Amino acid sequence: VSCWLFFFVLFEAARRTMGLAIAVIGAAFLIYPLIATYLPGALTAPTFTVDRIARSIGLFVTGIYGSILNISATIVVSFIMFGQFLNVTGAGQWFIDIAQALLGHVRGGPAKVAVLASALMGTVQGTAVGNVATTGVITIPLMKRTGYPPHIAGAIEAVASNGGQIMPPVMGIAAFIMIDFLGVPYATIIVAGLLPAIVYFVAIFFAVDFEAAKAGLAGIPRSQLPPLGKTLINGWYYLFPLAVLLFFLLYLQYSPQLSALYASAALLIVGFFKKSNRITWGMLVQATKDTAVAMMMVATVCALAGIIVATVELTGLSYRLSFLLIEIAGGNLAYLLIMTAVVCVILGMGMPTSAAYILLAILAAPALVKLGLQPMVAHFFVFYFGVSAIITPPVCPASYVAAGIADAPPMKTALSAARLGIAAFIVPFIFAYHPGLLMLGSVASIIWTFIFALISVLAAASALGGYLFRPLNTWWRAVLGIGSLMIIYPAVLTTIIGIIIIAVPVLYQLVLSRQLRLSQASDGER
């Protein structure tokens, strides 16, 4: 009885912290073993008593009190605390100032500032909605003042902030949970996630540039921007804790939680060298309070994950669903990838990325592995599409929060975010067919895959944005889109054809734009 009361309290906690949808999903998995014997097809399973279910899920280490909850109580809390220490000491504002000093003056500068600042913040925060709320209140008004439409300004911030979940060295909570599923060190996850994150942010950067070029937007005058040298001097020590984190994590190969604690200690130490940035007792209290609040959701998600994992293991559901998915796809990997992507986006709507990833890692990833994908690739595939759901309409919290800050129509903002964030939908298919993008394989394959991935996502961004060196008509946009997709397919011939297809409009538009500039220059001389 006590176990079932505990389950009820857990579902209520999930409802209050994450909404009704995730609580209903958790309850459905808990009830499933009781009714599985009456369900048809792959859903059927033997009958289990109420006592057996309560013990397996609520008492044993294979259930709620398993390895996933242990990760939240050790690794995740350490990194969240480190991120909160950086936030209360002003690291977020310093990251934004650095981005402004570097990029604020260029074409579409405020939007590029949003991309860079969100990438920097993502290294220590790892949540899309939190990233939007932190950087968006500064970057979105800047973008609107320089001429970006409100819905585009909100979409840019949502897409850039969403990338924080895939940006090493911290990434999102789901990346820590991936440790348990894959049984690999966290350093391996960081290394694997580096190149896809770079491709993602490069694609966003160019998509933002295309938007600015189409609208003829200029940057902010340098006189209104913080000077780079002074900004670096005022906050250089924020880089030291990050360097300590990477040194202990990657070089000395300490545990993630111990590395994060050393990084937090380094931040406390360097704060003493500058009085204005010294961590006070009030800052310490605020950081620990924010950590506790953030952990309420994380711990609840991980406890629900324990229910899902225990239920799947108890009933053998994952094994049966994997064969069902493979049967529906007819053993074709391409069909299975598309099906999995659609399922990932649907299940991810309205759910935190970590909860969506856990569900997909249990139900969808095994099918991908059975059809030949490496476990690392399969889990990154479902992870990326779980991240994509945060900006994909109709339920997309990051886009909606950004729309609220921008005072823009939510659905219009969400659709623009899905278009600008096209890399999030393309990159998973690239590393599914070309694992070199996840640092798997030879050095040569890693380099070539990275180059081809950049070409593919930039062509897709240009096709959807309708701009290259000059505005594109529908024909040229279609050509670039086809070339982008052909590069993804794992065959040398299709890759070469895709590159040639992309090269034709690139060279043609380059020549046309150069001729136009020369013509305008000669007209000006007259």
pLDDT digits (tens, 9 = 90+) for 127-178: 677 778 777 887 888 888 878 889 988 998 888 888 888 888 778 778 888 8
Structure tokens at 429: 């298919």
Average per-residue pLDDT in the chain? Answer: 83
pLDDT confidence tier of residue 482, bands split at 50, 70 and 90: very high
pLDDT confidence tier of residue 122, bands split at 50, 70 and 90: low
Q: 3-class DSSP state for residue 106?
A: coil
Structure tokens at 106: 């260029």
Looking at the predicted structure, is the pLDDT value of residue 452 above 80? Answer: yes
Structure tokens at 46: 């033997």
Whether 449 contacts 433, CB under 8 Å: no
Cβ count near 411 (within 10 Å) = 15
Closest among 145, 144, 161, 162 to 153, alpha carbons compared? 144
d(CA 93, CA 134): 9
pLDDT attached to residue 274: 67
Whether 404 contacts 153, CB under 8 Å: no
pLDDT attached to residue 280: 79
pTM: predicted TM-score of the whole model, two decimal places: 0.83
Closest among 253, 214, 250, 181 to 462, alpha carbons compared? 214
What percent of the chain has pLDDT above 70? Answer: 95
pLDDT attached to residue 114: 78
DSSP state of 467: B
d(CA 127, CA 354): 10
Average pLDDT of the segment spanning 245-268: 86
Whether 326 contacts 371, CB under 8 Å: yes
Average pLDDT of the segment spanning 323-349: 82
d(CA 450, CA 458): 12
Whether 271 contacts 278, CB under 8 Å: yes
Which residues are bridge partners to 467 per DSSP?
Answer: 471
Average pLDDT of the segment spanning 495-521: 82
Looking at the predicted structure, is the pLDDT value of residue 480 above 60? Answer: yes
Looking at the predicted structure, is the pLDDT value of residue 380 above 90? Answer: yes
Average pLDDT of the segment spanning 350-378: 84
Residue with token string 């593919």: 456
pLDDT-wise least confident of 40-49, 221-230, 343-352, 365-374: 343-352
359 Cβ neighbours under 8 A, 6+ residues apart: 25, 308, 347, 351
Average pLDDT of the segment spanning 10-29: 84
pLDDT attached to residue 439: 92
Buried b (16+ CB within 10 A) or exposed e, 134-169: bbbebbbebbbebebbbbbbbbbbbbbbbbbbbbbb
pLDDT attached to residue 377: 94
Average pLDDT of the segment spanning 207-213: 85
Q: What values do phi and psi take at 467, rounded to 5?
A: -150, 140
Closest among 193, 197, 165 to 356, alpha carbons compared? 165
Q: 3-class DSSP state for residue 344?
A: helix
Looking at the predicted structure, is the pLDDT value of residue 394 above 80? Answer: no
Cβ count near 473 (within 10 Å) = 8
Instruction: Please tell me the number of Cα atoms within 13 Å of 46 on its side-chain side.
Output: 8
